């Protein structure tokens, strides 16, 4: 995959993933749809989008690709199985890394910006439980949405875009 294709694929993946996670986490944290602060949730989407895109492009996708290439014999493996292994590897990398980022953002940076009193000791003491709570809450959602919804749609859409671009190049 070229760098431009990698960039496009990452963008297509992050576009539906971030809003779905923002809604999911907002509903979980607030205790239901009717209690969500939608203005706050929408305000955080651009920040989370940037973090997710950079994390996927520079960390998640390259590591998942190495894991998949090391463990999959493409000559003997069904392409659908190989792609599923790649998606699972991506989720195994992205979920904990994004949970670290969100723990730092929501439990460290944003409280400081809001003027809340936060000591380094209290942040460190709360980091592991908050991080683990996010992983336990988000991993099942990440796994099932990526394997069964987002990645199949993104793969199909990416394939259509690549076919259209290759047709356009042939006609030039």
Report pLDDT for 65: 96
What contacts 70, CB < 8 A, 6 or more positions away? none
In the chain, where the domains are located = 3-52+62-171
Question: pLDDT tens across 116-160, in order?
Answer: 988 999 999 999 999 999 999 999 999 999 999 999 999 999 999
Report pLDDT for 1: 85
Report pLDDT for 172: 63
As given in the structure block, the two tokens for residue 8 are 């496009």
Report pLDDT for 169: 76
Question: pLDDT tens across 58-75, in order?
Answer: 999 999 999 999 999 999
Categorize the per-residue pLDDT at 33 as very low, low, confident or very high, splitting at 50, 70 and 90: very high
Among 114, 107, 113, 109, which Cα is nearest to 131's? 107
Q: Is the pLDDT of residue 76 over 90?
A: yes
Report pLDDT for 167: 85
Report pLDDT for 50: 98
């Amino acid at each position: 995959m070229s760098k431009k294709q990698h960039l496009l694929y990452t963008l297509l993946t992050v576009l539906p993933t971030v809003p779905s996670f923002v809604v999911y986490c907002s509903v979980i944290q607030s205790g239901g749809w009717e209690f969500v602060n939608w203005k706050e949730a929408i305000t955080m989407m651009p920040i989370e989008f940037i973090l997710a895109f950079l994390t996927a492009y520079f960390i998640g996708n390259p590591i998942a690709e190495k894991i998949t290439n090391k463990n999959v014999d493409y000559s003997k493996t069904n392409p659908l199985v190989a792609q599923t292994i790649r998606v699972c590897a991506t989720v195994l990398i992205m979920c904990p890394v994004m949970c670290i980022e969100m723990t730092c953002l929501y439990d460290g940076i944003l409280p400081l910006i809001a003027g809340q009193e936060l000591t380094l000791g209290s942040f460190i003491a709360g980091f592991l439980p908050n991080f683990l709570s996010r992983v336990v809450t988000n991993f099942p959602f990440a796994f099932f949405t990526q394997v069964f919804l987002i990645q199949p749609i993104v793969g199909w859409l990416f394939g259509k875009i690549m076919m259209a671009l290759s047709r356009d190049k042939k006609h030039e």
